[in-house]
Amino acid sequence: MAPNSALHSNFNVDYVISYRFADTNNVEARNGFTALMQSLARVGLATEVRNGDNCSLLVFIKVGSDKRFAHEVYRSRVKDWLHGVRAAEPAKETQDTITGQDLTEAERFRIIHHLITSPTEEGGAGVTPKEGQWKNVESIFPLHDHIFNKEWIKKWSTMTFLKVEDLDEIRNRFGEKVAYYFAFTQNYFAFLVFPAAFGFASWVILGSFSPVYALVNGLWCVILVEYWKRQELDLSVRWGVKGVAGIQKKRRDFKHEKEIRDPVTGETLQIFPATKRLSRQLLQVPFAFLAILALGTLIATCFGIEIFLSEVYNGPGKSLLVFLPTGLLTVLVPTFTTMLTTVATRLNEYENWETAESYESALTQKIFVLNFITSYLPIILTAFVYVPFGSIVVPYLDIFNLTARPFAQNEKQLETPKSGAFVIDPSRLKKQVIYFTVTAQIVNFGLETILPLVKRRGFSKYQEMKSESAAKKGGAGAGVTIDDVPEEAEFLKRVRKEAELDFYDVATDLREMVVQFGYLSLFSVVWPLTPVSFIINNWVELRSDAVKICLEMQRPTPHRADSIGPWLDSLEFLAWLGSITSAALAYLFSNNGLGPDGTPATIKGWALLLTIFFSEHLYLLVRWGVRIAISKIDSPGMEKERGERFMVRKRYLQDTLGQDVLDVPSRLMEEKITRASLEEDARQSSLRTTGPTEHFWSRQKTWEESAKVGANLIEKMAPKEGKKQQ
Amino acid sequence: MAPNSALHSNFNVDYVISYRFADTNNVEARNGFTALMQSLARVGLATEVRNGDNCSLLVFIKVGSDKRFAHEVYRSRVKDWLHGVRAAEPAKETQDTITGQDLTEAERFRIIHHLITSPTEEGGAGVTPKEGQWKNVESIFPLHDHIFNKEWIKKWSTMTFLKVEDLDEIRNRFGEKVAYYFAFTQNYFAFLVFPAAFGFASWVILGSFSPVYALVNGLWCVILVEYWKRQELDLSVRWGVKGVAGIQKKRRDFKHEKEIRDPVTGETLQIFPATKRLSRQLLQVPFAFLAILALGTLIATCFGIEIFLSEVYNGPGKSLLVFLPTGLLTVLVPTFTTMLTTVATRLNEYENWETAESYESALTQKIFVLNFITSYLPIILTAFVYVPFGSIVVPYLDIFNLTARPFAQNEKQLETPKSGAFVIDPSRLKKQVIYFTVTAQIVNFGLETILPLVKRRGFSKYQEMKSESAAKKGGAGAGVTIDDVPEEAEFLKRVRKEAELDFYDVATDLREMVVQFGYLSLFSVVWPLTPVSFIINNWVELRSDAVKICLEMQRPTPHRADSIGPWLDSLEFLAWLGSITSAALAYLFSNNGLGPDGTPATIKGWALLLTIFFSEHLYLLVRWGVRIAISKIDSPGMEKERGERFMVRKRYLQDTLGQDVLDVPSRLMEEKITRASLEEDARQSSLRTTGPTEHFWSRQKTWEESAKVGANLIEKMAPKEGKKQQ
């Protein structure tokens, strides 16, 4: 019902292509457009053209030939089945598949998108936005279903915990990839209830750096990650996408080295040797070093300057100068990150991944390294360099005195204290953690919701100016919008707005969650209220992401996925590392970092290392136990899958061989009747020729004879006593 | 060819049942025997009875009804296919399956064994040796194929490295479970070439306790384990047993708690809740503590006594007394182990495993704990207690002086040195490692080959005495053997011998290999010649195990398996632990455990822990890398499997839908012709009703119109400049 009304209000439009020609000359634009129309028509898509904003055309696409589309759906499902993603082969009546209940909006959009973008050799239109022949094709996007969106946001804003049916709905609308993000965030949010309560209690009772909190938090991290793995699997079965990673499309930029014929299937395979890729992947090691060096040096330098200015320097201008390192960081970290991201992307392209999925996942891993450094290094520096070694390091900070030299009145103001004379600020760590877990989250939230708005306004302004300048030069420019037919005007206005919106990248949102989880697992022992802050943040986050998708972004094209991909590894890694940092922090700051006399406590190397050793191995032991426990508990999804696959085969068997193929008892009855004759047959056949073997088997003709012979032998051989006993 | 001649020389006998009635009264024995004959006949097996040695009968079994047997083979294969073990469904012509090339001897024996032992409800004869009704059935075993055995041993004794075809042959004869043992040992042996060479070189150049050796050895362990995992998978595909663990038969002793109907397949399932089993499994924790306490105390006590007697006591009788601890260990360790094994078995029964496989694997894990303690604790005590803390601990050893008191002439001989005055014997560790890796291996080899021989002789003597006593009491006893028909005499003599042989348990041999691997990974840094000793040992071991199976054991009933099971976890654990012990040993004994002044070196706790920390994390990092690298390199087995499953589906598709179901290009051609009409149809249908949607889609009737409208719009909107540029 909902999809129908949605389609109706969208004039049955499936996809919209925004064709922008401001930068192209006229003839080229027209030829390109004609080619686009032809390509789309060739794959059975019907089109309507209207003018867009600012030197652009809007091409409305819907399925022209239902038969052709049904065939596409069927092909896609057969392919799934061939690769083992679907348990049962799809129904043969192709027409049924699109009228049937089981075609979700997401599947429809995914298949149409595939039809538009896949190469002509594979039966698609081969339209690739912003590339080659199609450089004027700015974007291809489905239209928002405003009725659903409104209901969705309304529903979510009134409920605390989402049910799996709510996730199903997202999956049906936006595809599995987006649904996995919401599923993970929801799962994480639900799991946060416990550490939030426990964290609050331990903040009241135990205070910071409590080993008890560290232990409980570590245990919780393990269970969260392991449980999510299981849930992920369950969802992939529920959504019918298990193993879908295996049938992703080839990347356009993939360069094969040789072609071989698969010896079994006879298909031609394009091969790029895995060993060659592995050797190229080794470049990641120097890249990681480069990233650590570049970003690490930057962050450490700014950190040094900050300490120097805030805790050593005491001349004039201090209140202003302390903002210098923050300013430096704000400007330089994004610059460095962008540069390093470019390097990472190059590296990733050089690795020549075969599918878009594997490409993306490899890139994600590289970007995680950068994220890790920028997100956690400042706290790591404070906790593991500043606090324990502060009084040793600070005297060397005078190299930074040039930052304050112009303002200093005398040398004394710039003088670093002698080794030992400097007293560290023990609250610095906590302040920093609070900054990252509260302030930064709020700032981030603001950036996420407000920045796109500003960007959008700016962009639309820019486009307007561009087309105005075009208009000045003689084109009709934005003026043609007035041609809209009244009954379409409202609709076209909406579509033009959506055409200007940003593209939604779910990976960004996922990354945010994973980085947040990292703060919790690595540093929440410093400030046990961290999970409380996160649970509030995530309730809002889940809803604001929904709003973001509905209002601030183009409707995402549904993609399939059977996992949150490489982020899972990141989660595992962070949970593991957390067992080390939490233990180290709990030991280093056992009395807020102060010894009994108020000065920094003497840290015993062996005690620190022993704490870490025990904590880490406890973590690994618990993880092992939790994994076994979870693997032993059968999950509904796995059961369903097993059962389905079994049933498909069984049904097939009964179709081809009849109901009773596996029933032995009934056959047993038959056999009983003919046993004697069968045995006789066997004996007869062995008697046909004569030899020791035939003689051997012919001594006793039936089992009764064998039994008799045996009884006689027993009689003869058995101790007589036994007989007497009777 | 070989199987035929083998069957011929065995008179076509498939299985032999040894029925022993010395302890039963006469009538009972006869009734039991009749029931046995009837049960076997009921499942279509032909029987012949001859007298055995010492109050026993030999029942010779062969397939009576080929049709019935073919049906059994087919049922077994269909079951495999239903559970996803076979890619393709078995051929429908059941008769083909047994005349076809693909029925191996192992499969034949496995299915006949299943027929004999599986419960009557499932269509078997339900004969369970030594249990209940069948307590007189001593054993069920196939006959050795002496021609093959001879060839096998001859072939192996002349070659160094086995090929995968050699393993195939074992699999075809003795089943996958035995084949996996040989495959693992062969793989381990081949891998040993490198550390043997490297170990020898580093023994010459670097000496003991070299960090370089420790590193290389650790790396090698990782690669061995990870590579074996992959090989195991490949072999399981090659042998068609992947996933076979999922269709193992129910354990007879399994007690279900409730019965539920599977919602998908509709089958009735007997359920024992996994959570309940998990909670029962928690008892393993106190069990492990008990084992460590009991065996640990014993070993530590004997160790203490030994040190006291050999290094403290210097009175008379020392040369004899030093054997006291060894004697104690030799007597008490097996006693304790037997007791603990009993406890472990009880515990395992209490855990109520569903299948024989899972029962066995759980028991294996428990026994591994016991093995670990008895095998490695003595060396661990020397390395990590005696050497670093010797001078602290030894003064407390005077509690053991009562062992020598009767012999001591004066108190001085019993006096322990003051703390610090005692000098440890640094060569003790190396001596101990050499003992375990050379002497113990040789002793073990002797026990394995000679002990069964002695046992067998003893047992046959015992049986003889028993039947002689029976004969004295009036029975014919062993005398009846003279009744043999001359042409059968030779054959029956052989079978009687085989009936007395031991049952072959492959788990024992596997355990031996895993324990050996443990010495290599944990302690070989002490004595780098360890791998040289092992490579020699294993060459002999592989051959002597072949000889053992052929000559000293009954031919094993073939069982299926798709892995070496829980031993794999043990291997992983040992490799991991090795990264810790090797690093610790390399640090502790960096100068043979002596400081620059010749006394035990001062050990810095933090340095030791840091070494361990780095070594362990290096290990984990390398393991991660190796896993990724191996997973990326496609294996022939996996490729084959993927291809096969794909082809099965594709063939099915083509059978049902015709060749061209997935070919788009040809359909595309058709479509081209009718495109215009199709589009027209679509438009017409939407024109049938009128509304804004229908109007919207009726503005442009064909793609040419859309293109034209678009071109006009471009013309109007585009900057005029662009036009001029042309």
Single out the residue of B534, B529, B583 nearest to residue B198, CA to CA.
Answer: B529
Are A547 and A637 in the same domain? Answer: yes
Partner-chain contact A49 B713, CB within 8 Å: yes
Classify residue A723: in a domain, yes or no. no
Partner-chain contact B717 A81, CB within 8 Å: no
Are B135 and B194 in the same domain? Answer: no
Q: Which pLDDT band, with edges at 50, 70 and 90, does A465 fall under?
A: confident
Structural domains in chain A (count) = 2
Are B465 and B377 in the same domain? Answer: yes
Give which of B714, B715, B720, B726 to mutate to test A binding, by max A Cβ within 10 Å.
B714
Average the pLDDT over B104-128 and give the result.
88
Q: Which residue does chain A place closest to B700, by CA atoms?
A: A48
Which tens digits make up the pLDDT trace of B557-615? 999 988 898 899 999 999 999 999 999 999 888 766 555 555 556 778 888 899 999 99
Which tens digits make up the pLDDT trace of B231-244? 998 899 888 888 88
B509 and B180 Cβ atoms separated by less than 8 Å: no
Q: Give the length of chain B.
A: 726
Average the pLDDT over A247-266 and give the result.
78
What percent of chain B is predicted at pLDDT more than 90?
Answer: 24
Q: Hunting for tokens 């974007």 — which residue is that?
A: A139
Partner-chain contact A697 B667, CB within 8 Å: no
Q: Which residues in chain A have their CB less than 8 angstroms from residue B700's CB?
A: 47-49
Q: CA-CA distances (angstroms) from residue A224 to A185, A231, B158, B624?
A: 12, 10, 56, 22
Q: Which residues in chain B have their CB less than 8 angstroms from residue A55's CB?
A: 717-719
Is the pLDDT at A312 greater than 60? The verdict is yes
pLDDT reported for residue A712 = 86
The CA distance from A329 to the nearest CA of chain B, in Å, is 32
Q: Which of A163-172, A303-312, A342-351, B623-632 has the lowest mean pLDDT?
A: A303-312
Partner-chain contact B693 A725, CB within 8 Å: no
Classify residue A652: in a domain, yes or no. no
Which tens digits make up the pLDDT trace of B21-43? 877 788 888 888 999 998 888 88
pLDDT reported for residue A91 = 67
Partner-chain contact B723 A25, CB within 8 Å: yes
Q: Which pLDDT band, with edges at 50, 70 and 90, does A159 fall under?
A: confident
Residue A239 structure tokens: 């959504």
Alpha-carbon gap, residue A352 to A251, rounded angstroms: 9
Alpha-carbon gap, residue A76 to A122, rounded angstroms: 12
Are B446 and B428 in the same domain? Answer: yes
Q: CA-CA distances (angstroms) from residue A721 to A718, B26, B471, B472, B587?
A: 8, 9, 10, 10, 73
Bridge partners of residue A268, in order along the sequence:
A261
Classify residue B622: in a domain, yes or no. yes
Return the DSSP state at A64: S
Partner-chain contact A653 B47, CB within 8 Å: no
Are A87 and A172 in the same domain? Answer: no
pLDDT reported for residue A664 = 47
Which tens digits make up the pLDDT trace of B321-379? 878 888 888 888 888 989 999 999 999 999 988 888 888 888 988 999 999 998 999 89
Is the pLDDT at A726 greater than 70? The verdict is no
Is the pLDDT at A596 greater than 60? The verdict is no
| Most confidently predicted of A112-116, B257-261, B403-407 | A112-116
pLDDT reported for residue B73 = 84
Chains A, B: CB pairs < 8 Å: 376
Partner-chain contact B682 A64, CB within 8 Å: yes
Q: Which pLDDT band, with edges at 50, 70 and 90, does A683 fall under?
A: low
Partner-chain contact A649 B81, CB within 8 Å: yes
Single out the residue of B135, B108, B142, B124 nearest to residue B39, CA to CA.
Answer: B124
Q: Which residue does chain A place closest to B86, by CA atoms?
A: A649
Partner-chain contact B695 A647, CB within 8 Å: no
Angle, CA of A156, A162 and A163, to the nearest 5°: 130
Classify residue B409: in a domain, yes or no. yes
Q: Which residues in chain A have their CB less than 8 angstroms from residue B605's CB?
A: 605-606, 609-610
Angle, nearest 10°, between helix axes B506-523 and B211-238?
150
Bridge partners of residue B259, in order along the sequence:
B270
pLDDT reported for residue B3 = 43
Q: Which residues in chain B have their CB less than 8 angstroms from residue A19's CB?
A: 710
pLDDT higher at B552 or B101:
B552
Alpha-carbon gap, residue A672 to A290, rounded angstroms: 80
Please say which residue of A600, A622, A643 terminates a domain. Answer: A643
Q: Which of B46, B650, B697 sits opposite A12 (nearest CB)?
A: B697
Which tens digits make up the pLDDT trace of A103-115? 888 999 999 999 8
ipTM above 0.85, yes or no: no
Q: Which of A42, A474, A703 sits opposite B40 (nearest CB)?
A: A703
Q: Which pLDDT band, with edges at 50, 70 and 90, does A53 fall under?
A: confident
What mean pLDDT value characterizes chain B? 81
Partner-chain contact A710 B653, CB within 8 Å: no
Q: Which of A643, A661, A726 sits opposite B264 (nearest CB)?
A: A643
pLDDT reported for residue B480 = 46
Please say which residue of A643, A674, A692 terminates a domain. Answer: A643
Is the pLDDT at B133 greater than 80? The verdict is yes
Q: Which residues in chain B have their CB less than 8 angstroms from residue A34's CB?
A: 707, 710-711
Q: Which of B21, B26, B671 sits opposite A68 (nearest CB)?
A: B671
Q: Which residue does chain A place closest to B698, by CA atoms?
A: A48
Are A49 and A135 in the same domain? Answer: yes
Q: Hunting for tokens 């072939």 — which residue is that?
A: B155
Report strand pairing: A258-261 vs A268-271: antiparallel
Alpha-carbon gap, residue A18 to A16, rounded angstroms: 6
Q: Which pLDDT band, with edges at 50, 70 and 90, does B479 fall under?
A: very low
Classify residue B269: in a domain, yes or no. no
Partner-chain contact A57 B716, CB within 8 Å: no
Q: Which residues in chain A have their CB less than 8 angstroms from residue B83's CB?
A: 646
The CA distance from A29 to the nearest CA of chain B, in Å, is 7
The CA distance from B186 to the nearest CA of chain A, in Å, is 26
Q: Which residues in chain A have their CB less than 8 angstroms from residue B653's CB?
A: 78, 82, 89
**Domain span including residue B88:** 2-143
pLDDT reported for residue A97 = 52
Q: Which residues in chain B have their CB less than 8 angstroms from residue A68's CB?
A: 671, 678
Are A158 and A31 in the same domain? Answer: no
Q: Which residue does chain B place closest to A467, by CA atoms?
A: B719
Alpha-carbon gap, residue B552 to B530, rounded angstroms: 29
Give which of A18, A27, A43, A49 to mutate to test B binding, by max B Cβ within 10 Å.
A49
Q: Which pLDDT band, with edges at 50, 70 and 90, does A622 fall under?
A: very high
Classify residue A265: in a domain, yes or no. no
Single out the residue of A696, A271, A586 nearest to residue B492, CA to CA.
Answer: A696
Q: Which pLDDT band, with edges at 50, 70 and 90, does A6 fall under?
A: very low
Which tens digits make up the pLDDT trace of A385-441? 887 777 777 777 777 777 767 777 777 777 766 655 666 777 888 888 998 899 888
Are B63 and B211 in the same domain? Answer: no
3-state SS record for B349-362: HHCCCCEHHHHHHH
Report strand pairing: A45-51 vs A15-20: unpaired
Burial of A385-405, coded b for 16+ CB within 10 Å and e otherwise, reads ebbbebbebbbebeebbebbe
The CA distance from A130 to the nearest CA of chain B, in Å, is 18
Return the DSSP state at B565: T
3-state SS record for B600-636: ECCCCHHHHHHHHHHHHHHHHHHHHHHHHHHHHCCCH
Please say which residue of B143, B165, B189 terminates a domain. Answer: B143
Burial of B443-482, coded b for 16+ CB within 10 Å and e otherwise, reads eeeeebbeebeeebeeeeeebeebbeebbeeebbbbebbe
Are B713 and B635 in the same domain? Answer: no
pLDDT reported for residue B406 = 72
Q: Which of A92, A123, A722 sits opposite B26 (nearest CB)?
A: A722
Q: Which of B75, B608, B664 sits opposite A123 (nearest CB)?
A: B664
Mapping DSSP to helix (H, G, I), strand (E, B) and coil, where does residue B46 land?
A: strand
Mapping DSSP to helix (H, G, I), strand (E, B) and coil, where does residue B15 land?
A: strand
A583 and A611 Cβ atoms separated by less than 8 Å: yes
Mapping DSSP to helix (H, G, I), strand (E, B) and coil, where does residue B137 land?
A: strand
Are A99 and A182 in the same domain? Answer: no
Partner-chain contact B89 A703, CB within 8 Å: no
pLDDT higher at A520 or B267:
A520
Are B304 and B389 in the same domain? Answer: yes
Q: Which pLDDT band, with edges at 50, 70 and 90, does B682 fall under?
A: low
Are A395 and A463 in the same domain? Answer: yes
Single out the residue of A383, A400, A726 nearest to residue A527, CA to CA.
Answer: A383
Classify residue B70: in a domain, yes or no. yes
Which tens digits make up the pLDDT trace of B135-158? 889 899 999 988 888 889 899 888
pLDDT reported for residue B78 = 81
Classify residue A237: in a domain, yes or no. yes
Q: Which residue does chain A place closest to B68, by CA atoms?
A: A671
Q: Which residues in chain A have their CB less than 8 angstroms from residue B665's CB?
A: 121, 123
CB atoms within 10 A of CB B250: 15
Alpha-carbon gap, residue A199 to A192, rounded angstroms: 10
DSSP letters along B462-528, please?
HHHHHHHHHHHTT--GGGGGGG--HHHHHHHHHHHHHHHSBPP-HHHHHHHHHHHHHHHHHHTTT-T
